[in-house]
Amino acid sequence: ALKVSEGTRENLWSLMNSYQGRDSRSIQRSIVNHVEYTLGLTRFNFKDFNAYQATSYSVRDRLIEQLNDSNEYFNSQNSKRVYYLSLEFLLGRMLQNSLVNIDMEKKYKDALTDIGFKLEEIYEEEVDPALGNGGLGRLAACFLDSMATLDIPAMGYGIRYDYGIFKQQIQDGYQVEQPDYWLAKGNPWEIERPDVAYPVRFGGTFTKSGSGCGVGRWEGGEVVMAIAYDTPVPGFNTYNTNRLRLWRSRPGNEFDLQKFNDGQYDKSIMERQRAEYITSVLYPNDSTWEGKQLRLKQQYFFCCATIQDIIKRFKLNNTNWNDFPKLNQIQLNDTHPAIAAIELLRVLLDVERLPYDQAWMIVTGTFGYTNHTVLPEALEKWSVNMLQSLLPRHMDLIFFINQIFLEEVKRRFPGDGRRLEVVSMIEGWEDKRVRMANVAIVCSHHVNGVAALHTQILKASVFKDFYEIFPDKFLNMTNGVTPRRWLYCCNPGLAQLISDTINNDDDWVTDMRMVEEIAAYADEQGFVDKFKQVKVDCKKQLQHYIEKTQGIHIRLDAMYDVLVKRIHEYKRQLMDILYIIHRYLQILGMNEEQRRNVVPRVVFIGGKAAPGYKDAKGFIKLINSVADRINNDKSINDLIKVVFFKNYCVSNAQIIIPAADLSQHISTAGTEASGTSNMKFTMNGALIIGTMDGANVEIAQEIGKENMFVFGADVHEVDRYRAQTDEYRKGRLDGRLRNAFRAIYEGKFGALNDDIKGYLNRIEAGSDHYCLSLDFASYVEAQERADRTYRDQALWNKMAIIGIAKSGKFSSDRTIQEYCAQIWKITPKRIPNPADKPQ
Ligand code: Z2T
C-alpha cells in the first residue's frame, strides 16, 4: 500500500480545511456543492428533499473523515476490537442523531436558515432505515451509539436488506402490510464498497481426510458474493466514529458457461438473480422462529462474510493465532448469528490448518451469546437435513463438537441421561434438529440475559442444566437505551430543562446518573411548572401528528395513556382493550355527577403484528372496532378516545414517547425478557403501569415502587396458576372480564371476528396461558390508582420527575460499560484530537 510522506500528508490534510470548516459559510458551501455535483441539480433551485440529501452528504463527509481517522488509529495501535453481530439494526433516522453527536445541530440549523430551509422540516424528509423488528434490533442500534460514545473500537455487522420491516396500513380495521423499499430514493448515509467483497458458498460436497474432526475440502455448490456497505456511527462528544458494515448479496463470479453455450442465456441470468434474493427482505417475526431455508441462508451469508472480514483485519498486524481472542470479541445478538462460531472453527481447521484443540480454544475465547427470550417458540432449531445440504461441513462440525461436549458431561454427571438429552445440540430421532441456543452456549465464554429477572429464569429453568455445567458462564447485562436519541433528540425541551437545572451543561448526556440531581426539584413549583409546560408542548406535537396522519382530533386536557410495542399475546394488548371496554361500560352506567369525576383519557395502542400471526392480527381488528364504537358515541363526550397508533416505528416513537402521561408494560410475569421502551418512557416523564416482569422490576427498584402503578401476579403465582386445571380457572373467571366478553359477543363493537371469538371462548373455558383473568382485578385496581393520582397533578408530576431523575441506570452507556468490563475485557481507547494532526 502507498504510504504518503509527512510533507505530502500535511498538504493533503490542509486541502480539507476550507471544506470541513465549522463556520456557516463552509457548511453552506459543502451542502451546495453536493446539490450541484453529487445530486446533479442546480443550487439555484432545489426542494426540501434535495436539501435533506445534500445536508446528509455534507454531514457524511465529516463522519467519513472521523471514521477513517479512527480506523487508522486503531489499526496503528493493533487495538482490541468488539464485533456486534446482529441480523437486525433498527437505526431510525440518522440526520439529527449525527448532527447532535458531532455537536453541529445549531450550526447546520443556522446555515440552512440562511439559505431558506428549516432544519426541522428537512429532518422529516428522511425515511426510517428500519432493518429490525422491535426491541432486539433497536437495542443493537443503541449499543452502536454507546460503543462509539464510550470510545470502544467496535463494529456492527449485519445485513443490508432491500426491504425493511413492512409498513403497516389499516384497512377496515385490519392490518395490511406494505413493502418498505427504503432505498427507493437512495441512501446518503451508506458508503458502497465494491472492493470489499467475499465469496460465500452454499451446498456442494465436503471431503474429509485425517482422523477426529479431520480437515477437508468443501467444493461445488453455489457461490455468491457479499458486498460491504458501511454506515458511520459517530459518538457523542468524541471524535471517535465506528463502522456499521452491512452485507448485500450479488451473483458470484462463477459463470455457467455451459448454459451459455447451450443457448440458455436467459436461464443463466435468472440463476444469477437468485443470489440477490438472499438479502432482499427482513423476516418480520418478532420472537417467533420460522424455519425457512432463505432465512438460514441469510444467517450464514452474513456470518461467513463477517468472519472473513474480521480475519483479514486481524492479519494486518498479527500472525499468532493465540492472540485472536485477546484482540477480537464477537457478540452474538441472540442465536441468529450463532453459525458464525462454527464458521470460525471451520476456517481455523480447514483453511488455516490449526490443530483442533487450538481452534476450539480460539472459538470459545472469542464469542459471547446474548439471549433475548424465554419463549419456547422463539428458539431456533434448524433441521439437520437442511443444514446438511446447505452447509455440509458445518453440520459435520456440530456433530463433532457435540460428541466431545457430551462426553465431558457424561464424565462430570455420570448416569444423568436426562441431562445429556437436554443439553445435546441435536434434538429428536427421525426428525433431527439442531438447537442453536445449545450451540451458542457451548461455543461462548459468556452467556447473558438482558434483565435481572430474565437472567434468573435462564439459570433456574430454561438453561438450568447448562448453568450447572458452566456456572461462571452465565451473567446478567440489564438492557439500556441511548439518552442521545431517546431524550436529547426526541425531547429537546426536557433536555434543556435538565441542563438548566443541574449545571448549565450537557455532561449528563454521557453520564445519565447526573440527572438524579433533579429529584431535589420535584417539589419546587418553578421547576414543576416548567416540567408541565414541556409535557404539554410534547402533547401538542403528538396531537398535531395524530390530526395530520390519522385525521383524528384529540383533546389536550386528557391523560395520554400509551401502549406501543409489537403485538403479541404475552404483551397482553388484549387485556388493555378489554379494560377499555370495561371502562366504557362503567361510564355508560354513570350519571352526570359521577361522570364529572372521570379522568378523561386518550388511549393509544400501536404496534405491528407478524403477518402470519392470526391472533395478533385479530387483536388489531378488535382494537379498531372498539375505537370505532367508543369514538363515535357522543353520549360519553370524549371521556375516552381510542386511537390505534398506525405504523409504530422509531421515528414516530420519538413523538409519542415524550408525550405520554401513562405508559403500559403489562406482559405476563416471566415472559418479557426486558423491555426497553419502559426505560424510554421513564426517562421522558411518563409513569408506568406494569407487571413485575423484565426490566420493570429494576425500574421499580431504582425509582421506587410507589412511583409506579405495579400490579399482577409475580412469576411464582403465574407458575402456580398455570399448573391448575382449566376447571379451576374457569370457576374463577373475573366477572368484569366476563362482562367485557359479553359486550363483544353481543356485537356492541361490530360484527364479531371468528378468530377473536374462538380466542375469548378459550379463555372463558379456563385456557388462559397469559393469565388475563388472573391479573384482571389487580389491573383494574392499578388503573384506578392511576386515575386517582392523575387528579392530584402535583403528586403525578412529582412521581414523573423522580422517575426521570432515577432513570440513570437505564442508559445503554451503563450496559455497554458492563459488557466491556465483564464479557469483552476491553477498555476505552480515546483517539487523539484531530487538532494534533498537521494543520
Ligand atoms: C426481540 O425484539 C426480542 C426478543 C427476541 O427473541 C426477538 C426479538 Cl425480534 C428472540 C426482544 C424482547 O422481547 C424484549 O423483551 C427485549 O427488551 C429486547 O428483545 C431486547 O433485549
pLDDT digits (tens, 9 = 90+) for 776-828: 999 999 999 999 999 999 999 999 999 999 999 999 999 999 999 999 999 99
Provide the β-strand partners of residue 209.
Answer: 215
Q: Does a structural domain hold residue 454?
A: yes
Mark whether 618 and 738 lie in a shared domain. Answer: yes
CA-CA distance, 174 to 183, in Å (whole number)? 27
Question: Same domain for 727 and 647?
Answer: yes
Same domain, 459 and 566: no
Residue 787 has phi, psi (to 5 degrees) of -60, -50
User: Does residue 255 belong to any structural domain of this protein?
Assistant: yes
Judgement on whether residues 555 and 461 belong to the same structural domain of the protein: no
> 441 and 314 share a domain?
yes
- At residue 524 the predicted structure's pLDDT band, cuts being 50, 70 and 90, is very high
pLDDT in tens, 478-497: 999 999 999 999 999 999 99
Give the CATH number of the domain where residue 599 resides: 3.40.50.2000
Residues 6 or more apart in contact with residue 661 via CB below 8 angstroms? 535, 559, 560, 561, 686, 687, 790, 796
Does residue 123 form part of some domain? no
Is 79 domain-assigned? no
Q: 446-449 and 381-383 as β-strands: parallel, antiparallel, unpaired?
A: unpaired
Q: Within 10 Å of residue 655's Cβ, how many Cβ atoms?
A: 17
Q: Which three cell numbers stand for residue 123?
A: 429532518
Grid cell locating 359: 481452534
Annotated catalytic residue 680: yes
Q: Which residue, 443, 476, 509, sits at the end of a domain?
A: 476
Q: Residue 720 falls within a domain, yes or no?
A: yes
Q: 716, 724 in Cβ contact below 8 A?
A: no
Q: Let me know: does 773 contact 737? Beta carbons within 8 Å.
A: yes
Residues 587 and 694 in one domain: yes
Mutational test site, ligand 1, from 283, 332, 372, max ligand atoms within 8 Å of CB: 372
Do 565 and 447 have their domain in common? no
Backbone angles phi, psi at 711, to 5 degrees: -150, 175
How far is the C-alpha of 261 from the C-alpha of 270, rounded, in Å? 16
Q: Is residue 810 part of a domain?
A: no
Residue 20: all three cell numbers together: 470541513
Q: How many domains does the chain have?
A: 2
CA distances from 265 to 95, 120, 131, 523 (A): 44, 51, 35, 77
| Pairing of β 426-427 and β 381-383 | unpaired
* CA 478 – ligand 1 centroid, Å: 13
**Residue written as cell 450550526?**
107
Catalytic, 732? Answer no
How far is the centre of ligand 1, averaged over its atoms, from the C-alpha of 787 (Å)? 31
Q: What 3-state DSSP class applies to 701?
A: helix
The contacts of residue 646 (CB under 8 Å, 6+ apart) are 168, 169, 170, 549, 550, 606
- Model confidence at 832, in pLDDT bands (50, 70, 90)? confident
* Atom number of ligand 1 nearest to Cα 334: 10
29 is catalytic: no
Same domain flag for 451 and 562: no
171 part of a folded domain: no
Could you tell me whether strands 222-234 and 215-219 are parallel, antiparallel, or unpaired per DSSP bridges? Answer: unpaired
Domain that holds residue 601: 548-803
> Which of these ranges, 48-62, 316-330, 751-765, has the smallest mean pLDDT?
751-765
Distance 711 CA to ligand 1 centre (A): 22
469 with 553, same domain?
no
pLDDT at 253: 67
Identify the helix (H) or strand (E) that includes residue 652. Answer: helix 650-659
Sign of CA dihedral 456, 462, 464, 470: negative
Active-site hit among 297, 372, 433, 814 = 372
Q: Are residues 215 and 295 in the same domain?
A: yes
Look up the pTM and report it: 0.98
544-559 pLDDT, tens digit per residue, is 999 999 999 999 999 9
**Distance of CA 360 from the midpoint of ligand 1 (Å):** 29
Query: Based on the domain organization, do 594 and 470 belong to the same domain?
Result: no
Whether 133 is in a domain gets the answer: no
Give 171's contacts (C-beta < 8 A, 6+ positions apart). none
By alpha-carbon position, which residue is closest to atom 10 of ligand 1?
287
Where residue 839 falls among pLDDT bands split at 50, 70, 90?
Answer: very low
8 Å CB contact between 341 and 367: yes
Our answer on whether the CB atom of 380 is closer than 6 Å to any ligand 1 atom is: no
Q: Are residues 459 and 607 in the same domain?
A: no
CA 521 – CA 495 distance, rounded (Å): 15
- Nearest CA, atom 1, ligand 1: 136
